[in-house]
Amino acid sequence: MTDLVMPEALTVAPSLSDRAREALGGRSLIFVGLMGAGKSAIGRLVAQQLALPFVDTDAEIERVSRMTISELFATYGETEFRALEARVMERLLHQSQRVISTGGGAFINEQTRGHIKAGGLSIWLRADLDLLWDRVRKRDTRPLLKTENPKQTLENLMSQRYPIYEEAELTVESADVRKETMAHNVLAAIAGLSARGR
């Protein structure tokens, strides 16, 4: 049998994932944004495509506390939850490169935001109220929305937090498209960083 000789011109162009990894330059990727934006779902997919470990801060908090987020809020209150969240964030940011999906309040903490900016690449999944509401109304796992008018609560959180999420290095619009399309848009935004010379 004759040997198969590959012509040099057939070298493979780097994939979108390769280019995004290159642009990350060893930094962790941190998803921020409001409840329902898709941080947990899209973060997991993007991690798979980047072949990086994935961690969701809420899942990590539930693991270390052996309580659900709802139980933590009910038993210790939001202040204690935020303190635990900040500690978990700091620990995760000191670990090797990974994809981190935060809970919606994590980036609002000034110190956490500082740690993220110093060592990671933050990406805001921005969504409009109706999309967020449509997603979060289906589950009762978010204690902040256990109010008389949860959609109004969500809207209030948008006004308070969007000016802060805006500080993220990248913003990707969270649209009513397939999760795979969202993951692709995220990778393209990251890969675009090196094209912009950053």
Ligand X SMILES: O=C(O)C1=C[C@@H](OP(=O)(O)O)[C@@H](O)[C@H](O)C1
- In the region spanning residues 52 to 111, those forming contacts with ligand ADP, defined by CB under 6 A, are 101
The CA distances from residue 45 to 17, 111, 182, 186, in Å, are 12, 28, 9, 10
Per-residue x/- track, 129-168, ligand ADP (CB under 6 A):
------x---------------------------------
State which residue, 17 or 101, has the beta carbon closest to ligand ADP.
101
State which residue, 182 or 193, has the beta carbon closest to Mg ion.
182
- In the region spanning residues 86 to 125, those forming contacts with Mg ion, defined by CB under 5 A, are none
The yes or no reply on residue 40 touching Mg ion (CB under 5 A) is: yes
Give CA–CA dist 103/94, Å, rounded. 18
Q: What are phi and psi of 172, to 5 degrees?
A: -125, 130
Give least dist CB 180 to ligand ADP, A.
9
Annotated binding residue 197: no
Whether 181 contacts 172, CB under 8 Å: no
Residues facing residue 55 across a β-bridge? 100
- Residue 150 burial by Cβ neighbours in a 10 Å radius (0-12, 13-18, 19+): middle
Binding site for Mg ion (CB under 5 A): 39-40
Binding site for ligand X (CB under 6 A): 35, 39-40, 58, 69, 103-105, 142-144
